[in-house]
Structure 1
Amino acid sequence: MSHLVIELALWILLAFLVGCILGCLLRRLFAGEPAAAVASGPSQFTSVTAPVPPAPDVKAETAAIVAEAQALAGTPARPTGMAAARGGTPDNLQRISGVGPKNEKTLHSLGFFHFDQIAAWTPEEVAWVDDHLKFGGRIAREEWINQSRLLAEGKEDEFHRLYGTGGVRNKAGETESGTRTRKD
């Protein structure tokens, strides 16, 4: 039985070597002359060396094309995000009614870490975020902009009156609803 395994291994090795030899021959026949041979001197092939233009900045061109297409199509542009939270500490976006841990993580991945960023969104930017996150009008319906504005301005009493604790538990361990978040 072991002699069959050894014989099989030898046949596989032989097939590998034959494949390598055939591959080298076919590459030399069909791939042309290697670059080292062209640089070393004259050959049967004449090559014309043309100056190589610098590579274009593909990312910048793509961004410009996308922005122009969005402007022509009337689609909203993405709001400007940040690479990281100011001071290394983001605001607790879960205080906004309708933002849970998953939405907060998604907002962070898009570069939104602070209430003032969300409060500054224009209607077009709200439409982009709403469409991008597939919220179906949730941002406007749950008044994220107004909630963020109140929290950014430090108007805790007004926020509490309108939106309750914003998902944060009070001293009794309960969340409270405000006049705008109360379900009748």
Structure 2
Amino acid sequence: MRSGWLPHEEWLKTQDTRIASAALLIENPAGELLTVKAYYKTHWSLPGGMVDAGETPLQAALREAQEEVGLVVTEEEVSFFAVASRSSDKGLAHQYIFRAVLDDERLGQIVLQQSEIDAYQFLSRDAVLASNEGFAWSIPHWAHHRPGGYVETRIVDGDDERQEAVTQFVGFGS
């Protein structure tokens, strides 16, 4: 063993543990984004949720889309959009965002998960930017036509709402 080096198992214990979530940016052919409102959130977000043990972020995003809005989306229909390193007083997390464009016929088959999702809406970029609603970081990022890439955010829980601000962004090809 080299001087100053810990055995691998001991070194791992010194590292941050980060949970992960995944979400799916789903657009219709008109370029509008599907947003959902979970009953327990103060803001609109994308269909998505936690990555379960033994599951990849892509598998989680596809599973969550099926659970929350009843849409079966295949791996072949999605592309990678972004990964976010999110920090808050509660800890650190990674969020993986994937993107899919689905036709109106499939989007007409949306069925909300009654135990979690109260409502959904399709929003244009202009509607997001003009709105006073609260949104997850990824929605205004999308609305500003920003490319995918690496994002760092900071989550602050206020008295009556949660706010998440982008603190760093590195786009693909930057």
Instruction: Answer whether TM exceeds 0.5 for this pair.
Output: no
Scaled by the length of structure 2, the TM-score of the pair is 0.22
Q: Which has the bigger relative contact order, CA under 8 A and spacing at least 6?
A: 2
TM-score of the aligned structures, taking structure 1 as reference length: 0.21
Greater helix share, structure number: 1
State which structure, 1 or 2, has the greater radius of gyration over its C-alpha atoms: 1
